[in-house]
Amino acid sequence: MILLILGASWPLELLEKLRDKRMSGLVLAELASIVSRRRNVLHKTLRRIGARDELAVPVVLLYVLKRFGLEYRRIDGRGHIYPLGDFYLPLAIVIELSSKVRLKTLDLLHLAYIAALKEQGEEIHELVTVDDGFKREKEAIKRELKIQIKTIGIPL
């Protein structure tokens, strides 16, 4: 299985070619942010399909999931960090990973979602992203999460 980190500049033809694709809630939240900032396109689409404004972002997210054969995976659970206490599982994993993989918080969160999904039994073997930030920590990520990182370039 592949977990994707989507962005506004993803080449759609590549997204169509990949198989067995999953998205975390974090990726859906990022995609919602991208979609909501494109209000003019969003409102035109809403008028065409007759949807209410408050449904705009969820409708577009559902369309993207269906159109590209993506599956959303929810994270359940809590993790304990001694001596701090209980945290939402991805946040607990970020705190643990931060001393082993030197990345920005958002990138660590993506990795934490992968680790949490793997703990829930998902078989994730690869992370596909356009974010070059993962390249320099590729070996640490492979060691800690047992996944491959595939960074794809964006054609100019």
CB atoms within 10 A of CB 35: 21
Q: pLDDT tens digits, residue range 10-19?
A: 566 767 777 7
Residues whose CB is less than 8 angstroms from the CB of residue 135 and which lie 6 or more positions away in sequence, other chains included = 149, 151
Residues whose CB is less than 8 angstroms from the CB of residue 80 and which lie 6 or more positions away in sequence, other chains included = 86, 87, 92
What token pair was written down for 84?
A: 């701090």
Q: What is the percent of the chain where pLDDT is above 70? A: 88
Pairing mode of beta strands 2-5, 126-129: parallel
Average pLDDT across the chain, whole number: 85
Question: What is the average pLDDT across 146-155?
Answer: 80
| Cα distances (Å, whole numbers) of residue 41 to 32, 47, 62, 115 | 14, 10, 16, 35
Q: pLDDT tens digits, residue range 81-138?
A: 999 999 999 999 999 999 999 999 999 999 999 999 999 999 999 998 888 889 899 9
CB atoms within 10 A of CB 147: 19
Most confident of 38-52, 61-75, 112-126: 112-126
- 90 backbone φψ class: left, alpha, beta (φ>0; ψ -120 to 50): alpha
